Amino acid sequence: MGALMVIFSLQKDQRRKRTDSVEDELELSAVRHRPEGLEQLEALTRFNRKELQILYRGFKNECPSGVVNEDTFKDIYSQFFPQGDASTYAHFLFNAFDTDKDGSVSFEDFVMGLSILLRGSVQEKLNWAFNLYDINKDGYITKEEMLDIMKAIYDMMGKCTYPLLKDDTPRQHVEIFFQKMDKNKDGVVTIDEFIDCCQNDENIMRSMQLFDNVI
Amino acid sequence: MASGVAAWLPFARAAAIGWMPVANMPMPIAPTEKNKRADELIVLNVSGRRFETWRNTLDRYPDTLLGSSEKEFFYNEETKEYFFDRDADVFRAVLNFYRTGKLHYPRSECITSYDEELSFFGIIPEIIGDCCYEEYKDRRRENQERLMDDDEDKKDAKLPNMTFRETMWRAFENPHTSTMALVFYYVTGFFIAISVLTNVVETVPCGATPNTKEVTCGDRYTVAFFCMDTACVLIFTVEYLMRLFAAPSRYRFMRSVMSIIDVVAILPYYIGLVMTDNEDVSGAFVTLRVFRVFRIFKFSRHSQGLRILGYTLKSCASELGFLLFSLTMAIIIFATVMFYAEKGSTSSKFTSIPASFWYTIVTMTTLGYGDMVPKTIAGKIFGSICSLSGVLVIALPVPVIVSNFSRIYHQNQRADKRRAQKMQKARLARIRISKTGSSNAFLHSKRNGLFSEALELTSSIEEEQHLSKNQSLLESQHHHLLHCLEKTTNHEFADELCYEQSYLEGALQSYPSQSPSLSSQEGMTGTCCTRHTKRNHAPLPNSSIPTCALSHTHPHHNLQELSTIHIQPLNTSRSSLNMRVDEPARLNCQSGTITTAIISIPTPPATTPESDAHPPPPGPTLQNVVKVSAL
């Protein structure tokens, strides 16, 4: 009886190998996405050929299948902020980049978003930022939406900060923001109020130019 | 730095536009690329095989040979390529690491040559991906065992200058080292055998005298057996005492299993000597003699296989526990069932459930003595189910134990397991350090950055260049991004120590202010927060601020600055100049920034912490939200 048991135990390893191959086949038929040609992308965005090449190489290196889904996106973004939790903010960013709402960011989405952020006019950049804050895309930023965004930003700091982060720090920050932006005090910020106020704020204008030479 | 995602850094920086409208303060200036050149292909010639890659790919890991300027040593001017006289096959794995961020271990390579290549190119093996890590570790362990076996053979050579005690211990542990040791080894073995044999023969019935019943040999030749026993015990006692004397760590020796066995083997004899021939205690005395059989375990010093068996059982403790547990469950279930099934039949041996336990055990282990058999039909059915399930339950954990035993037997050691655990801990520690290294890198560079800004003002430009040489462009861009986040949220990154301290001080804040004998400082003690020393603190008159006030690594005078008040200043880095009391003039004209101090405890008023030019006030400083201009 003991010998039988030993023989059975040796055989179980072989059985495992057979089941793995079925799962492997499923993986192979995963999504593969090929982007538009270089010429079309050149026309759609404000990048030149060389810049598009560099961007695509980096993109494809990180995502060999050609699309980024939300989890990969969160992963990548979190690596830049090791001390905090960047996943909530990455979620909002993902929604802002995923313009066709199909749950994945393809290279076209990626490069078009970047084109606005890096080569767009101030108006376009502010428009993009408004889109980011407006979570439900209804054209108004409410205090709750702003609070979510603010909490997400503060989450990225992590808990080891100086001075210590208090629980109502995001809320206070949202109050300051609304005081500045909400001109008619109706509790929401519309796109016009937002763009108006930002264009009049010197600090914000200066900051917008900061990332012009990123590529 | 998240090197694997360096390509996404431009994206992360662009996405930072989302913070801009929210921030209340101006953002820091972006680092400029001083010598921006277009990305170019570089050729790496490794023993004749040419590999080409982008320069940026190699720059991802600046602390390796290929990513740093160390590769310039290998640059060949005539052919305009980098030549490495190394193994091209292993280089493939190294280069793939740069390309994909994952290091793989090619199974066909020898482990030592692979390790050598990794250390040549400055890559730590701990970052081998999970897919290949187990294989790598196994091969490494085998290699080390092989080396260890070689060492063992060398170890037997006698070291010079060993004390008598050490020689004796070595003789006990390795009988092959000297003839005396070998003699001792065989003599003790012989006596163990004699002792065990004596115990056994003692109970054999030895010829009977015609008129009385049979007596055991022990009772017939009492004196002879007693002498034999005494001799054996004497030898064992002497041996034990000698081992105790020679042991390098007596306490550890006394706790070891073998010595406990020794003690248990000889103790009954002494107890027997001490006790008198009292009728009450003679029963107990007889029981004690049972323990003499433990002398057989002393053979495990003489037999490797026995030790391994013992070790296997110990390491399979969980499987054995499971076996026992499942058996107990099954026994109880079947015993209950059999009892109730057989309750009806007459003259049934199954008188109670515990009585049925015996039947169940005998049946499940397929022994089948036949002293208890079920008579009813239901009983027979359940009995057969019982025996079938017994086979299953016992068969399940046994292969695990068997495979464990064979593995251990071949690998041969408990010391090996301990070493493996240490390496796992070391690996995790190294990975953790490299992860915290990335977050700490930012904090370090902040301190260095402030240092270099202060240096700028003393217009020692050479030193500044010297300081910033270590940061690659990618790193400085990453740090700029983190700096922007700090500005957006008006909070700064701190490391763990600072966080804990500020947390504790936050807890202390509920008490009223304590000794005001110390000056108005912000209450950051400890060596970690060196940068806070540069912020608004008025140094104590008796603290030794060096005239070169830029040595920000002097935390000693911080210890005097125990303040109970937790001031939360938010100021830009320029205020680092405030600490230089010795040059108040320069201080005044250069630090023209506005700092906002937000303090949380409403206690007795105090002066501003920014009044550096004045001697520190005696009381603790507090304020409400105040805009304070640095003088």
pLDDT in tens, B59-105: 888 888 888 888 888 888 898 899 998 899 999 999 999 988 889 99
Pair A87, A107 in one domain: yes
Pair A126, A96 in one domain: no
How many Cβ atoms are within 10 Å of A88's Cβ, its own excluded?
17
Residues of B in contact with A177 (CB under 8 A): 21-22
Q: Closest to B11 (Cβ–Cβ): which among A114, A156, A207?
A: A114
Instruction: Report, as an integer, the average pLDDT of B280-305.
Output: 76
Q: Do A1 and B366 touch (CB under 8 A)?
A: yes
Instruction: Report, as an integer, the average pLDDT of B43-50.
Output: 92
How many Cβ atoms are within 10 Å of B98's Cβ, its own excluded?
23
- Amino acid identity at B460: S
Q: Do B402 and A79 touch (CB under 8 A)?
A: no
* Whether pLDDT at B385 is above 90: yes
Distance between B522 CA and the closest CA of chain A, angstroms? 11
Last residue of a domain, one of A103, A120, A137: A120
Strands A67-69 and B41-46 turn out to be: unpaired
Last residue of a domain, one of A120, A150, A181: A120
Pair A60, A102 in one domain: yes
Name beta bridge partners: B245: none
In a domain, A110, yes or no: yes
In a domain, A169, yes or no: yes
pLDDT single digits (tens) B248-267? 888 888 898 888 888 888 88
In a domain, A202, yes or no: yes
Residues of B in contact with A1 (CB under 8 A): 366, 391, 395
Tell me the three state secondary structure of residue B389: helix
- Which chain A residue shows the shortest CA-CA distance from B398? A5
Q: Do B99 and A198 touch (CB under 8 A)?
A: no
Instruction: Report, as an integer, the average pLDDT of A36-53.
Output: 83
Last residue of a domain, one of A120, A150, A185: A120
C-alpha to C-alpha distance for B428 and B127, rounded to whole angstroms = 10
Distance between B21 CA and the closest CA of chain A, angstroms? 6
Q: Residue B102 has what pLDDT?
A: 87
Residues of B in contact with A56 (CB under 8 A): none
Q: Residue B356 has what pLDDT?
A: 93
Q: Residue B402 has what pLDDT?
A: 85
- Which chain A residue shows the shortest CA-CA distance from B11? A114
Which band of pLDDT confidence, cut at 50, 70 and 90, is reported for residue B572?
A: very low
Pair A147, A200 in one domain: yes
Judged by a CB distance cut-off of 8 A, whether residue A162 touches chain B is: yes
- In chain A, the number of structural domains is 2
Which band of pLDDT confidence, cut at 50, 70 and 90, is reported for residue B50?
A: very high
Max mean pLDDT among B334-338, B443-447, B463-467 falls in: B334-338
* Whether pLDDT at B484 is above 90: no
* Whether pLDDT at B274 is above 60: yes
Q: Which residue has the higher pLDDT, B288 or B608?
A: B288
In a domain, A36, yes or no: no
Pair A58, A115 in one domain: yes
Which band of pLDDT confidence, cut at 50, 70 and 90, is reported for residue B30?
A: confident
Helix (H) or strand (E) holding A43: helix A38-44
Distance between A11 CA and the closest CA of chain B, angstroms? 12
Q: Do B496 and A5 touch (CB under 8 A)?
A: no
pLDDT single digits (tens) B579-588? 343 433 343 4
* Whether pLDDT at A15 is above 60: no
Instruction: Report, as an integer, the average pLDDT of B228-251.
Output: 90
Pair A116, A147 in one domain: no
Structure tokens at B377: 């039909």
C-alpha to C-alpha distance for B195 and B295, rounded to whole angstroms = 8
Q: Residue B621 has what pLDDT?
A: 39
Q: What percent of chain B has pLDDT over 70?
A: 64
Provide the domain limits for residue A52: 43-120
Q: Closest to B8 (Cβ–Cβ): which among A8, A62, A82?
A: A62
Q: Are B109 and B132 in contact (CB under 8 A)?
A: no
Q: Do B14 and A161 touch (CB under 8 A)?
A: no
Q: Which residue has the higher pLDDT, A15 or B12?
A: B12
* Whether pLDDT at A42 is above 90: no
In a domain, A11, yes or no: no
pLDDT single digits (tens) B161-206? 678 888 888 888 877 778 888 898 899 899 999 988 888 888 888 7
Instruction: Report, as an integer, the average pLDDT of B262-276.
Output: 81
Distance between A203 CA and the closest CA of chain B, angstroms? 5
Q: Residue B92 has what pLDDT?
A: 92
Judged by a CB distance cut-off of 8 A, whether residue A44 touches chain B is: no
Q: Residue A65 has what pLDDT?
A: 80
Structure tokens at A10: 């040796």
* Whether pLDDT at B452 is above 80: no
Q: Residue B165 has what pLDDT?
A: 84
Pair A127, A193 in one domain: yes
Pair A126, A201 in one domain: yes
* Whether pLDDT at B321 is above 90: no
How far is the first Cα of chain A from the last one, in angstroms, to the nearest whole number? 71
Judged by a CB distance cut-off of 8 A, whether residue A5 touches chain B is: yes
Q: Do A54 and B17 touch (CB under 8 A)?
A: no
Distance between A150 CA and the closest CA of chain B, angstroms? 8
Residues of B in contact with A181 (CB under 8 A): 21
Structure tokens at B388: 């079938």
The count of CB pairs under 8 A between chains A and B is 178
Pair A190, A150 in one domain: yes
- Which chain B residue shows the shortest CA-CA distance from A194? B21
Pair A126, A209 in one domain: yes
Q: Do A153 and B485 touch (CB under 8 A)?
A: yes
- Return the CATH number at A78: 1.10.238.10
In a domain, A200, yes or no: yes
Which band of pLDDT confidence, cut at 50, 70 and 90, is reported for residue A190?
A: confident
Q: Residue A73 has what pLDDT?
A: 86
In a domain, A131, yes or no: yes
pLDDT single digits (tens) A123-162? 888 888 888 888 888 888 888 888 898 888 888 888 778 7
Q: What is the DSSP string of B415-434?
A: HHHHHHHHHHHHHHHHHHHH
* Whether pLDDT at A36 is above 50: yes
Pair A81, A148 in one domain: no
Distance between A29 CA and the closest CA of chain B, angstroms? 22
In a domain, A14, yes or no: no
Strands B75-76 and B81-84 turn out to be: antiparallel
Q: Residue B445 has what pLDDT?
A: 67
Q: Residue B613 has what pLDDT?
A: 38
Phi and psi, residue A128, nearest 5° = -65, -40
Q: Residue B451 has what pLDDT?
A: 52
Max mean pLDDT among B139-143, B251-255, B534-538, B627-631 falls in: B251-255
What mean pLDDT is reported for chain B?
Answer: 72
Tell me the three state secondary structure of residue B203: coil
Which band of pLDDT confidence, cut at 50, 70 and 90, is reported for residue B447?
A: low
pLDDT single digits (tens) A45-57? 888 888 888 888 7
Q: Residue B388 has what pLDDT?
A: 92
Pair A190, A159 in one domain: yes
Note the ipTM here. Answer: 0.77
* Whether pLDDT at B575 is above 70: no
Q: What residues contact B608, with CB distance under 8 A and at least 6 apart?
A: B597, B621, B623, B626, B628
Distance of CA B66 to the CA centre of its chain: 31
Which band of pLDDT confidence, cut at 50, 70 and 90, is reported for residue B508?
A: low
